[in-house]
Amino acid sequence: MKAVILAAGMGKRLQKVSGGLPKSMIKIGKSSIIHHQLESCMNVGITNFVIVLGYKIEQLKAHILEKISAEQVTFIENPIYDTTNTLHSLWLTREHLNDDFIYFNADVLFQSGLLKKISESSQYSQLLLETKSCAEEEVKMIINEDMRIMEISKQLPIPKCAGEFIGIGKFNKDILGRFVQHLQFGVENGQSNNYFEFAVDLLAKDVILKAVPTDGVPCIEIDFPEDLVRAKEMFSL
């Protein structure tokens, strides 16, 4: 099991409070966001990482290596990070998608208990779902009675949605060939500046992807200064 972390972006909406640092280097308490993530992974036995970098690549790389050794991580550069999005960044990792992996972006703060929900053996690939009434800008899921994900996108009718995809998932080895094909399709069809959920939505039409409720375990995506305030409150830091 490895973790694939997408950390290429600038975090433009947090520049006023980040001092120009990559968003994942912003401190929540005594540790940066990405250090919290690495520690959460290691708490559940995940010790190998593939991390996509772009903005201030050398500074962020050095920061990551304060927490883990060079032998534990493969760094991949997205040289066009400023004009692409998570679909393109994940596509860049395709040669390393050869076994089960946990996925998340480098701006999500969570407890390791969430990883335990999806890191254990399961027949199906799984995405974590926060059951709630969603806002327009959130990535939403439509699921069936068996928790199978039928659709995943920001552009879904809110009344039909079960909640928000919080940006953490586990993808099993058996579906990775198809997943890479959908990422490739996106890149070849002008979707490099789209979110990776574009490919996940296509994948959900091919294979069974299961939604796993977070059951109230704390998790927050940090996009705005007010999210930093909430993160510190949620995690008592």
For the chain, the structural domain boundaries read 2-234
CA distance 182 to 89: 14
Quote the tokens at residue 4.
């694939």
Cβ-count burial of 146 within 10 angstroms (0-12 exposed, 13-18 middle, 19+ buried)?
A: exposed
pLDDT of residue 232: 83
Q: Find the farthest-apart pair of alpha carbons in the chain and give their distance in angstroms, rounded.
A: 47
**Local structure of 75: helix, strand or coil:** strand
In angstroms, how far is CA 84 from the centroid of its own chain? 16
Identify the pLDDT of residue 236: 64
Q: Do the Cβ atoms of 52 and 5 come closer than 8 Å? A: yes
Vertex 187: Cα angle to 122 and 179 (nearest 5):
15
Instruction: Please enumerate in sequence order all residues whose Cβ is within 8 A of that of 201, keeping only pairs 6 or more positions apart, or say none.
Output: 151, 152, 153
| Tokens encoding 163 | 């909640």
Reduced to 3 states (helix: H, G, I; strand: E, B; else coil), residue 89 is helix
Predicted TM-score of the model (pTM): 0.94
Who contacts 213 (Cβ-Cβ below 8 Å, separation ≥6)?
128, 129, 130, 131, 163
Angle between helices 197-206 and 176-188 (to 10 degrees): 130
For 2-234, which CATH class? alpha beta
Q: What gap in Å lies between CA 168 and CA 5, rounded to an integer?
A: 10
209: left (phi over 0), alpha (psi -120 to 50) or beta: beta
pLDDT in tens, the chain (237 residues): 899 999 998 877 777 776 788 989 988 888 999 999 999 999 999 999 999 999 999 999 999 999 999 999 999 999 999 999 999 999 999 999 999 999 999 999 998 889 999 977 789 999 999 999 888 889 999 999 999 999 999 999 999 999 999 999 999 999 999 999 999 999 999 999 999 999 999 999 999 999 999 998 889 888 888 888 888 888 765
Residue 82 pLDDT = 94
